[in-house]
């Protein structure tokens, strides 16, 4: 490579992307590892404690859903924390069997509280805790993208 090409190559800069990636095995209590990372990232971003707790709670719900329902062959959940100026985006991905998003019914909270089986409201909680939520699912896995604004 000539010197002029080398100096030109040195001047090329890549855009700064502030991301933290985590891959956790589908083992009991491993969602806590992800919430510790979320807490650290959100504190770095100067989120207030209540908003940090909301991110952590939504993240736990999303990871437990992946653990319980994905039937992922590799037994892992991939989590990416994307740091922007005013928001934190968390991407949770599994390589499981997927599901039909439209088949998920909104739970009736009154009935759930009276019922013996109180599970089944994780997605609703996630949607209420986060500012934006997007889910894509197919036979190749599920990706849940959720964002929380700092203020």
Nearest to 141 by CA among 72, 84, 76, 53: 72
Domain limits for position 64: 17-149
For residue 124, being part of any structural domain is answered with yes
Question: Tokens standing for 84?
Answer: 């922007």
Per-residue pLDDT tens digits for 28-40:
999 999 999 999 9
Question: Residue 73 domain-assigned?
Answer: yes
Question: How do residues 73-100 score in pLDDT, each as one tens digit?
Answer: 999 999 999 999 999 999 999 999 998 8
Is the pLDDT at 123 greater than 80? The verdict is: yes
Q: Structurally, how many domains does the chain consist of? A: 1
What CATH code is carried by the domain that includes residue 71? Answer: 3.30.565.10
In tens, the pLDDT along 93-120 reads: 999 999 887 877 776 666 656 667 656 6
Q: Which residues contact 149 (CB under 8 A, 6 or more apart)?
A: 86, 87, 131
Query: Is 101 inside any structural domain?
Result: yes
């Amino acid at each position: 490579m000539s010197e002029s090409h080398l100096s030109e190559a040195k001047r090329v800069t890549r855009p700064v992307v502030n991301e933290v990636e985590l891959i956790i095995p589908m083992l009991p209590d491993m969602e806590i590892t992800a919430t510790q990372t979320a807490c650290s990232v959100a504190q770095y971003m100067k989120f207030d404690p209540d908003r940090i707790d909301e991110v952590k709670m939504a993240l736990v719900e999303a990871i437990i859903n992946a653990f319980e329902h994905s039937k992922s062959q590799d037994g892992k959940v991939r989590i990416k924390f994307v740091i922007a100026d005013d928001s934190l985006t968390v991407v949770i991905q599994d390589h499981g069997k997927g599901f039909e998003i439209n088949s998920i019914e909104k739970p009736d909270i009154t009935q759930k509280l009276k019922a013996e089986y109180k599970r089944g409201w994780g997605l609703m909680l996630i949607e209420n805790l986060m500012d934006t939520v997007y889910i894509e699912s197919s036979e190749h896995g599920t990706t849940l993208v959720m964002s929380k604004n700092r203020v």
